[in-house]
Amino acid sequence: MGLRMSESAKPYFAMVCLQFGYAGMNLVTKTVLDRGMSHYVLVAYRNAFATAAIAPFAFFSERKVRSKMTFPIFMQICLLALLGPVIDQNLYYVGLKLTSPTFSTAVSNIVPAITFILATLFRMEKVELRKVRCQVKVVGTLVTVVGSILMIFYKGPFINFFQSHLTTTATGGDYLKAAVFLLLASLSWALYFVLQASTLKKYSAHLSLSTMVCFMGTLQSLALTFVMEHNPSALNISFDTNLFASAYAGIMSSSIAYYVQGLMIQRKGPVFVTAFNPLVVVIVSIMSFFVLGQGIYLGGVVGVVVLTVGVYAVLWGKHVDDDCGEMRPEDNVLEAVKCCSVNINGLSIMPKIDEVDEDIETGKVTAAEKESSVVVVVFLSENVDNVSRC
């Protein structure tokens, strides 16, 4: 029993650890973006590091189980690279540069709601509103959205006990533009999760899929960088925090994250994976307050509490779904057979079955009761002489 509980807790533990990695990425990348690093260059190097980190593992561990590459799968990989590494990351970094890590992660909490809607539309997630667990998931998703809105629009008194190391000079217009960019990034990220779930059904090699997505993302990001920067020297990078931020984001938030998310999507579905996203804003808020010395508004504290309640509600609903899905139809058939059997002196006897005879030549159907009692000898002890029925 203990081993089963341990196995069931692994997906939750892995996703929580992943959110800590995302929180660290937000703080590190915010620092280098404020120092003038181009987000196009950051995305290109991030995916290059991700490809280099995960490719060897994919090559050696999945060379015997790797699925055959087809043109439709290749096009899906290219689309995944466009949605995730290119569109989502660039738009998210623009919003992060204009505002703060707390604000960016708060807006991104709309991802679970968008993913839930898309998964329901594409019939990846079953919603039976008459059942309590489905009602809890829907309400929990709405609660996370409310918590995000509170953090974005409601400020209240400012709480600051330390000296901040990061300063944000964003205006109201910057916050509005950042919100638009972050919402578009969230939509792209939700589409990425849904498409990834569909692709994994046809190409189940997690590491290989993640490697190819990162590689195609690198090529597309390099092309976008050359178009937008108009200067090849923009790709020059030295051994400083820019390199560290690119390596950290690539290894932690791309290679490891893509693999873990793909594994969890195949096991639990896209809604389960995105349900943990609101934890990032909780972790970022705490780290910004205690580690970086950034203040936080009372609305942010209230929003964090509401977000936590919403996350727990969604996860509880998913946990109940998993428990209900553990009983297979085959088990129900076996239970029905056991229930209808009679055990007499070591003999397992099935009851009589009324069958219908059909004359093949005339096509007439005549009802005839046939005694089709099947006797199966079971080697039991001789002292079993009781008769049991369901």
Q: What does the pLDDT look like over 154-173, one tens digit per residue?
A: 777 776 655 554 445 555 56
Answer whether residue 27 is part of any domain. yes
Find the distance separating the first CA and the last CA of the chain, reported in whole Å. Answer: 28
Question: How far is the C-alpha of 354 from the C-alpha of 70, rounded, in Å?
Answer: 51
213, 85 in Cβ contact below 8 A? Answer: yes
Q: Is residue 385 part of a domain?
A: no
pLDDT at 332: 43
Give the confidence band of 334 by pLDDT, cuts at 50, 70, 90.
very low
Q: Are residues 321 and 347 both part of a single domain?
A: no
Q: Are residues 304 and 357 in the same domain?
A: no
Does residue 16 carry a pLDDT above 80? yes
User: How many domains, in total, are found in the chain?
Assistant: 2
Say whether both 138 and 213 belong to one domain: yes
Assess if residue 390 is contained within a domain. Answer: no
Whether 313 maps to a domain, the answer reads yes
- Structural domain harbouring 350: 339-377
Together in a domain, 343 and 320: no
Rounded mean pLDDT, 264-276: 85
Q: Is residue 150 part of a domain?
A: yes
Residues 354 and 291 in one domain: no
Identify whether 386 is part of a domain.
Answer: no
Q: How confident is the model at residue 381 (pLDDT cuts 50, 70, 90)?
A: very low
Under DSSP, is residue 348 helix (H, G, I), strand (E, B) or coil?
strand
Same domain for 179 and 305, yes or no, is: yes
Residue 353, pLDDT above cutoff 70: no
pLDDT at 307: 77
Quick one: tokens of 252? Answer: 């932690």
Which of 192, 211, 193, 207 has its CA nearest to residue 48?
211
Which of 65, 139, 166, 167 lies closest to 315, judged by CA? 139
* Nearest Cα to Cα of residue 307 among 186, 184, 180, 150: 150
Q: What is the pLDDT of residue 162?
A: 54
Give the chain's mean pLDDT: 78
Residue 389 lies in a domain: no
Question: Which stretch of 49-53, 271-275, 300-304, 343-347 has the lowest confidence by average pLDDT?
Answer: 343-347
Residue 279 confidence class, pLDDT cut points 50, 70, 90: confident
**Do 111 and 21 reside in the same domain of the chain?**
yes
Confidence bin at 114 (pLDDT 50/70/90): confident
Name the band, by pLDDT with cuts 50, 70 and 90, for residue 377: very low
The least confident of 111-115, 237-241, 247-251, 303-307 is 303-307
* One domain for residues 147 and 247: yes
Contacts 24+ apart (CB under 8 A), 125-131: 125/269, 125/270, 125/271
Task: Write the pLDDT tens digit of every residue in 84-100.
Answer: 999 999 999 999 999 88
* Co-location of 269 and 350 in the same domain: no
Claim to verify: residue 178 and residue 322 sit in the same structural domain: yes
State mean pLDDT over 187-205. Answer: 92
Structure tokens at 327: 């009983």
pLDDT band for position 8 (cuts 50, 70, 90)? confident
Assess whether 293 and 366 both reside in one domain: no
- Tell me, yes or no, if the pTM score tops 0.85: no
Is the pLDDT at 153 greater than 80, yes or no? no
- Do 316 and 350 have their domain in common? no
Structure confidence by residue, pLDDT tens digits, 46-83: 999 999 999 999 999 888 888 889 999 999 999 999 99
- According to the model, what pLDDT value does residue 329 have? 45
Q: Is residue 233 part of a domain?
A: yes
